[in-house]
Structure 1
Amino acid sequence: MDPPAHETFRLGPFNAPRLWTGLWQLSSNAWGTTSVSKIREAMGRHVALGHTAFDMADHYGSAELIYGQFRASLASPEAVIGATKWCVFKPTTISEETVEAAVRQRMERMRTERVDLLQFHWQDYDNHDYIAALGILLDLQRRGLIAAIGLCNFDAPRTDEICARFPHTIVSNQVPFSLIDTRASFALAEVCTRHNVKLLTYGTLCGGFLSDKWIGEPEPDPYGSLNPSQRKYLDMIVKAWGSWALFQELLVVLREIGDLHNGASISNIATRWVLDHPVVGAVIIGARLGCTEYPSDNLKVYALALTPADRAQIDAVLARSAGSRMIETIGDCGAEYR
């Protein structure tokens, strides 16, 4: 049987796949480690299967460097898309020199003549210099140093402000979106649809909790063997969304739906559910490259078509959760990081 056709979407000048590989787990040894050569080999396996877009950041450890080494080894380096970030977490002097230096550092580390997608994160909304920073980034794009500009963890009001100030320039906003965390489907979805901005979503598998592995398992000890992502999402599941018991009910429903779709995994169903939102361009699936990765299983998402009955089953569980209130209890997308 032939593999399913890859779904793509338009992202600036790129025809990008709708499943991306996230490299945030290279930011810490807490997720497990392996050799750089094995990581590059794993990247090759992903690309061979059509997973040609990689997401990283300036603070994800050696992710940009390893990606740059891998890209330089390819006979056709233009076949891959490298998305990275410039994250301003603390007060920074915004000038043409400082912004260009940040972009050129990304280019140097990634061994590329331009950054494919530069995603901008700004920590302090009270400091409106993010507008000046974006203006300089757009100048650098005109000069050819950046192919496309996106945002990262910007909420609905600031995304709207930025897109109104710089129309037809921002192509994406990277935010959390999952069956558990649906905040992006509220005001942000409306704003992004109006401005033709696509969401690149992370946390879609909740650190791996939305998988077959956790069916029937007791609630884990947050101070046990969980990795940093799992601790964050466990807290969200049991404190903000609902309870571990309700989460188990969701997993059972997802497993039953998967059985109706040629044995698709829970992760496949959870990913497809997010991808089916029109505002979503791609889901970024984190991988412990060379340690734990599921590039072949992820491909099954492309063959999935959830039915109205499937969605009704899922909605019935979600309706019993506090998911629709999380935008009030936690705040809009990105609020948990500020």
Structure 2
Amino acid sequence: MKYRVLPSTDLNVSEVCLGTMTWGQQNSEAQAHEQLEFAVARGINFIDTAEMYPVPPNAATQGRTETCLGNWLGRRPRGDLVIATKIAGPGRRDWIRGGRTDITPANIAEAVELSLERLKIDYVDLFQIHWPQRNVPAFGAVAFDPSKERPGPSIREQVEGMAAMIDAGRIRHYGLSNETSWGVCEFHRAARDLGVPGPVTLQNSYSLVSRSADGDLAEVLFREKMSLLAYSPLAGGMLSGKYRGGARPENTRFALFDTLGQRFRKPQVVEAIDAYAALAEQRGISLVQLALGYVKSRWHLGASIIGATTLAQLEEDIAAAQFELDPETLAGIAEIQARFPNPAA
């Protein structure tokens, strides 16, 4: 396993991050602990969760994933583990924290304390805003709609709330997720104006079929000394190949929860995946190696976030996320990308 220090931090993380959103829904706590032991034994020291998890989110299970992780953390020394979690944004999950989901300094403080209680730790290494406070196109939407504007705390207030948690020793760094270039720049502008730390990471969807981070966001990451935490590097499992031809294998995410991941099931996504599968076969590698190897190859990557429901899947994904693609394969990917630039957006 290779490690890298995330820019603007002292966090030395494995290039593979263990995702957790199935724990407490598709996976039991015992299975979550098996995954943790398996991943740590293979050198993973970076674990990502969220107060909203598991997925699909609902009021009955909210917080269960952090509790699964916390019960494991409570039985072992923390060592060099890097723990990341997220505060939910407004509007989508109003049952979280009794509906107090605007990202105000007070709500940030409450979310931090509740996460620390569930995680059974004294501080979080990386605390992320799960989705923006303001109106933005997200989760596969591409068109900005001014009619959806809503009041709420400013980015400056959010920065102040994060800085207060850093000063209190409850978080070490903070990051953004599902954010736009304008938003990242505004967070840094506010932080510079206040003389406090800015965000250090951006956790956005990134894969062969979701490449929005390759354009102006990449420039922002470079200039603001940030790194990308790539979630859904297998496009919700579509790039594993298991859904090809319209298949819905039993107990898989899209079979169990048909409303999830609609952005990964668009017709152009399906066509692109067929093209990538043909390239993988031509190059003598698996589609998973092609997909995760591509994400690994990107200069702005901090870590690929890998989640699985079985140990066999996890083993394959961890290995593939460390796979080095040769120049010929990368050239083949570029040819397909010219035809399907960003099909899942």
- TM bin (shorter chain): 0.7 to 0.9
- Number of residues paired by the alignment? 306
CA distance in 2, matches of 1:299, 1:326: 23
Of residues 149, 155, 159, the one that matches 1:134 is 159
Deviation at residue 49 of structure 1 after TM alignment? 0.9
1:4-57 deviation digits (Å, cap 9, x = unpaired): x42433262310011111111236x3xx343x2232122111111112211111
The normalised TM-score by structure 1 is 0.81
Cα gap change, 1:229 to 1:180, in 2 (>3 Å)? farther
Q: What's the counterpart of residue 48 of structure 1?
A: 41
Q: What's the counterpart of residue 275 of structure 1?
A: 296
Q: What's the counterpart of residue 124 of structure 1?
A: 134
1:211-252 deviation digits (Å, cap 9, x = unpaired): 2545xx423479x9724788654653434xx26344212212
1:152-207 deviation digits (Å, cap 9, x = unpaired): 11111111111122145311011001100111111111111110111101111011
> Which structure has the higher relative contact order (CA within 8 Å, separation 6+)?
1
Matched letter for residue 252 of structure 1 = A
Deviation at residue 138 of structure 1 after TM alignment? 0.9
1:295-337 deviation digits (Å, cap 9, x = unpaired): 433343465332221111112222222x34765xxxxxxxxxx
Q: What's the counterpart of residue 333 of structure 1?
A: none
SS state at 1:82 partner: strand
1:115 aligns with 2:128: no
SS state at 1:24 partner: coil
Q: What's the counterpart of residue 220 of structure 2?
A: 191
Mapped contact 1:150–1:172 kept (Cα < 8 A): yes
Mapped contact 1:119–1:151 kept (Cα < 8 A): yes
Q: Which runs of 5+ in 1 are unaligned?
A: 328-338
Mapped contact 2:14–2:46 kept (Cα < 8 A): yes
CA distance in 1, matches of 2:274, 2:104: 51
CA distance in 2, matches of 1:142, 1:173: 22
Q: Percent identity?
A: 22
Mapped contact 2:248–2:255 kept (Cα < 8 A): no
In angstroms, what is the RMSD of aligned CA positions?
2.8
Q: Which runs of 5+ in 2 are unaligned?
A: 54-61, 92-99, 136-148
SS state at 1:253 partner: helix
Which structure's residues are more often helix, by fraction? 1
Q: How does 1:52-131 map to 2 (within 5 A)?
A: 52-60=45-53, 61=62, 62-74=64-76, 76-90=77-91, 92=101, 96-121=105-130, 122-125=132-135, 126=149, 127-131=152-156
Q: What's the counterpart of residue 18 of structure 1?
A: 15
Matched letter for residue 312 of structure 1 = A
Q: How does 1:87-236 map to 2 (within 5 A)?
A: 87-90=88-91, 92=101, 96-121=105-130, 122-125=132-135, 126=149, 127-167=152-192, 169-213=198-242, 217-220=244-247, 226-227=254-255, 232-233=260-261, 235-236=263-264
Matched letter for residue 6 of structure 1 = K
CA distance in 2, matches of 1:80, 1:287: 19
Cα gap change, 1:307 to 1:156, in 2 (>3 Å)? same
Mapped contact 1:171–1:198 kept (Cα < 8 A): yes
Mapped contact 2:18–2:305 kept (Cα < 8 A): yes
Moved over 6 A (4+): none
Cα gap change, 1:247 to 1:117, in 2 (>3 Å)? same
